[in-house]
C-alpha cells in the first residue's frame, strides 16, 4: 500500500465534489419525491429561510463588502462542485434529526456524500473488500438485526468507510473501486459477522470553498473515525447511521455535528492486537 502524504494531491475538494455531485444525480431523483408539494409549503419554507437571512443581515449590520464576499463564495461553491460537501457537513444532521425523531429503535446519523450503492454482496459472514496488506487495525464486528420487539429479522447491512489514511474508494484516486465497501445479508436469525479494519479520523477537503469558510471562521475540519451503515429489512424503515469509536478527540466537536452517544462502539482488543466489537440494530416498522 502506498501511503498518501498530501490529501489535496489526491482527493481535492473539486474532485471529491464532482464525484459526489455525479453520484447524487445518478442515484437520486430528488424532484420526483416532492413534485406534488403544495405551493403553500414551498412558499412557507422559502420565505422563512429568506426571512432568517434578512434578520441576520439587519441584526449584525452586514456590509456590502461582506455581502459581495458571500456572493463570491456562493459562486465558488457551485463552480467547485462543493454543494454536496457543504450541505452534508453543515445541514444534513438537522434534517436527519427531524426525519427520524419518531423512531423507537436504533438511532441514526447522516449519510454524508460518500455513499455508493450496489457494493459487493458478501453474505452474513465475510470480509469487506480490501487491498493486500491494508493498513489499519483489524476489526471483527458481530451483531444481529431485529425489530423493535427483539424478534430477529432477515436483512442487509451496507457498510462503507474511509481507509487508514482517511480516504474513500471512488472519491480518491489510486484506491480499488470497492475498497472497504460491502453488503452483508443475514439469514432469518438476523446475525452477521463482518471483518474489516478500523478507519482513521480525517479532515474534509479544505483546499476549496468549504475550506475557505473553515479558515475564515477559525473552525477545524476534522471528522472522528466512523463506520457508515445502511441497515434494511422488508417491512421496516431503513436505518442510516455512522458508528464511532471511544476516545476520539473529535467525538465532541465533529465538524458535521453527527455524533450521538448511542452510536459510540465499545471495541475490545484481542491478544493478537486486533479488535472485536458487538453492536446490533433494532429497526422500526414501516409507517402506514
DSSP code at position 196: E
pLDDT digits (tens, 9 = 90+) for 18-50: 667 776 767 667 778 888 999 999 999 999 999
How far is Cα 150 from Cα 205, in angstroms, rounded to an integer?
41
Contact 232, 156 (CB under 8 A): yes
Whether residue 8 has pLDDT greater than 80: no
Whether residue 154 has pLDDT greater than 70: yes
How far is Cα 74 from Cα 246, in angstroms, rounded to an integer?
36
Please name each of the domains of the chain with its CATH number. 7-30+63-283 (2.60.130.10)
Helix, strand or coil, per DSSP, at residue 27: helix
Give the pLDDT confidence score for residue 115 in this predicted structure: 94
Q: Give the up-direction half-sphere exposure of residue 197: CA atoms within 13 A in the CB hemisphere.
A: 19
Measure the N-to-C terminal CA separation of the chain; round to a whole number of Å: 49
Give the pLDDT confidence score for residue 14 in this predicted structure: 65
Cβ-based neighbour number of residue 184 at 10 Å: 24
pLDDT digits (tens, 9 = 90+) for 65-77: 999 999 999 999 9
Q: Which of 260, 267, 124 is nearest to 198 (CA)?
A: 267
Amino acid at each position: 500500500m502506498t501511503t498518501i502524504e498530501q490529501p489535496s494531491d489526491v482527493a481535492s475538494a473539486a474532485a471529491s465534489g464532482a464525484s459526489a455531485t455525479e453520484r447524487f444525480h445518478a442515484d437520486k431523483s430528488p424532484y420526483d419525491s416532492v413534485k406534488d408539494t403544495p405551493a403553500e409549503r414551498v412558499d412557507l419554507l422559502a420565505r422563512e429561510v429568506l426571512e432568517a437571512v434578512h434578520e441576520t443581515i439587519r441584526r449584525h449590520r452586514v456590509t456590502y463588502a461582506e455581502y459581495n464576499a458571500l456572493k463570491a463564495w456562493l459562486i465558488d461553491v457551485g463552480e467547485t462542485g462543493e454543494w454536496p460537501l457543504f450541505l452534508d457537513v453543515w445541514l444534513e444532521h438537522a434534517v436527519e434529526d427531524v426525519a427520524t425523531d419518531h423512531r423507537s429503535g436504533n438511532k441514526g446519523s447522516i449519510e454524508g456524500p460518500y455513499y455508493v450503492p450496489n457494493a459487493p454482496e458478501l453474505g452474513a459472514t465475510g470480509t469487506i473488500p480490501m487491498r493486500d496488506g491494508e493498513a489499519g487495525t483489524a476489526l471483527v464486528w458481530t451483531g444481529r438485526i431485529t425489530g423493535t420487539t427483539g424478534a430477529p429479522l432477515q436483512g442487509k447491512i451496507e457498510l462503507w468507510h474511509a481507509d487508514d489514511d482517511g480516504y474513500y474508494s471512488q472519491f480518491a484516486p489510486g484506491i480499488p473501486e470497492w475498497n472497504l465497501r460491502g453488503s452483508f445479508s443475514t439469514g432469518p436469525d438476523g446475525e452477521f459477522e463482518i471483518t474489516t479494519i478500523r478507519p482513521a479520523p480525517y479532515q474534509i477537503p479544505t483546499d476549496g470553498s468549504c475550506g475557505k469558510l473553515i479558515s475564515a471562521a477559525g473552525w477545524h475540519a476534522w471528522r472522528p473515525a466512523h463506520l457508515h451503515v445502511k441497515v434494511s429489512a422488508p417491512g421496516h424503515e431503513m436505518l442510516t447511521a455512522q458508528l464511532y469509536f471511544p476516545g476520539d478527540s473529535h467525538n465532541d466537536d465533529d465538524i458535521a455535528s453527527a455524533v450521538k452517544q448511542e452510536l459510540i462502539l465499545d471495541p475490545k482488543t484481542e491478544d493478537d492486537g486486533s479488535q472485536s466489537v458487538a453492536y446490533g440494530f433494532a429497526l422500526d416498522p414501516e409507517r402506514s
